[in-house]
Structure 1
Amino acid sequence: MDLEILTPAVIGVGVVSISLAWVINTLIRVRHGYPLENSWGKAVYPKKSTENEERVKLLSQENAALRAELGSMKDRLANVERIVTDSGYHLTQEIETLRGTQKGAN
């Protein structure tokens, strides 16, 4: 009876141990830059596509252009905010000055 219970446990521990060893081996190979292997033992390298490299280059250029445009828009917005807030204050002050001179003239 004990052998029937023990056998699946031993098999389970063996399968888990082998799987864990495979995962650790793969992680070590990746960390140190060794190529991975397919099921036939042939080295598998990541595919490098010139199309993907061109796409990354174009997206990087577009990103740089958009960042430059965003920077100029921030500057313009800051100028508009400064004009709106400063001009409103100065305009009110000038109107009050004119009202004061008109009252003094009357």
Structure 2
Amino acid sequence: MSWSGPGFVIAIIAISTIGWVINSWIRAKHGYPVENEWGGTTALGFDGLEEDYPNAVRKIALLTSENEKLNGKVSRLEERIAVLERIATDPAQRIAREIDSLR
């Protein structure tokens, strides 16, 4: 291979470009800011969509409150299922005694 020919220079440029593209793709995939052509960074997210930012914040707040409500429902249902499992696995005489004691 000739180290002084134009093929070597083109190979170095191709390797550098491919490395830059792969690096940018990985950074964008994982949510890191991507560098632009002049060394600055381009933030991901609401670029050009500043008018949608309040709506996005409101939507996040609504989803958070809905998530809390659903977590509460799930915990209550888990408690009820635990009671039903205890009733289903206990001997019949014990359940009958508890029912009679409640009367």
Q: TM-score of the superposition, structure 1-length normalised?
A: 0.51
CA RMSD of aligned residues (A): 3.9
The AA in structure 2 aligned to 1:10 is V
Q: How does 1:61-76 map to 2 (within 5 A)?
A: 61-76=65-80
Equivalent-residue separation in structure 2 for 1:10 and 1:82 (angstroms)? 76
Structure 1: where are the runs of 5+ without partners?
A: 93-106
Identity percentage of aligned residues = 20
Cα drift, residue 65 of structure 1: 0.8
Partner residue, 2:10: 11
Q: Counterparts of 2:87 and 2:70 in 1: how far apart (Å)?
A: 25
**Equivalent residue letter for 1:55:** K
Matched, 1:81 2:80: no
Task: Kindly provide the amino acid, as one letter, of the partner of residue 15 in structure 2.
Answer: V
Which structure has greater helix proportion? 1
State the TM-score, normalizing by the size of structure 2. 0.53
Determine which structure has greater relative contact order: mean sequence separation of CA pairs < 8 Å that are 6+ residues apart, divided by chain length. 2
Question: Tell me, which stretches of 5 or more residues in structure 2 are unaligned?
Answer: 97-103
Instruction: Call closer, same or farther: CA 1:65–1:15 in 2, change over 3 Å.
Output: same
